[in-house]
A = this chain, B = another copy of it.
């Protein structure tokens, strides 16, 4: 039996709404996994959350005199692997740090392209105290490749200073 046209339209609308909710869930999961993969020392899995030409674009992160000064950019999986395994960067605090994404918000999804905003917070254990190491505004450009959402570009700017305005310009209310 052929499905009549009214019913077919109704089913298609239902399936499109489901797809939107599933994409939203998958992207929020990607932002969560991003922190776990970094903090749990899964370098390959961390890098594989990016597209082949994926870019990480970070602003100044200086805590108690240690960190990056100014805008830094890593492009492609080889550079991203260098970043995540650099003994002076993440590796120096692995096991003592926690990367949390807050206010995760998917602002745009259309087909295989999406945009998300989030706040990133890094907590660090130092002796008996746990401190906030850094906090930043994030703008994520995402692409679905083979049914899997990946990061095309992560742009992150610390709170404080003026660099953060670049992230704001990119976001939509």
Stretch from A78-86, A97-105, A144-152 forming part of the interface with B: A97-105
A89 at the interface (CB under 8 A from B): no
Given A17-B22, A123-B132, 18 other A-B residues pairs in contact with their CB atoms under 8 A: A7-B7, A10-B11, A21-B22, A29-B106, A31-B103, A33-B105, A35-B119, A40-B171, A42-B173, A45-B173, A62-B128, A63-B128, A65-B128, A95-B165, A98-B135, A102-B102, A129-B131, A130-B160
Known A3-B7, A18-B17, A117-B36; contact A130-B102, beta-carbon cutoff 8 A:
no
Alpha-carbon distance A105/B106, docked complex (angstroms): 16
A18 to chain B, nearest CB (A): 5
Q: Determine the residue in chain B with the shortest Cβ distance to A40.
A: B168
Residues in A94-131 with C-beta less than 8 Å from chain B: 95-98, 100-106, 117, 119, 121, 123-125, 128-131
Q: Which residue on B lies nearest to A159, using beta carbons?
A: B125
Contact present for A159 and B97 (CB under 8 Å):
yes
A25 and B22 within 8 A (CB): no
Asked if B160 and A103 make an inter-chain contact with CB atoms under 8 angstroms apart, the answer reads no
Q: Is the CB of A135 within 8 A of B130?
A: yes
Answer whether residue A141 sits at the interface, using C-beta atoms and an 8 A cutoff: no
Chain A 48-88: CB-based contact to B (< 8 A → 1; otherwise 0):
00000000000000111100000000000000000000000
Closest Cβ of chain B: how far from A104's Cβ, in Å? 7
Selected from B21, B24, B168, the residue in CB contact (under 8 A) with A41 is B168
A170 smallest CB distance to B (angstroms): 10
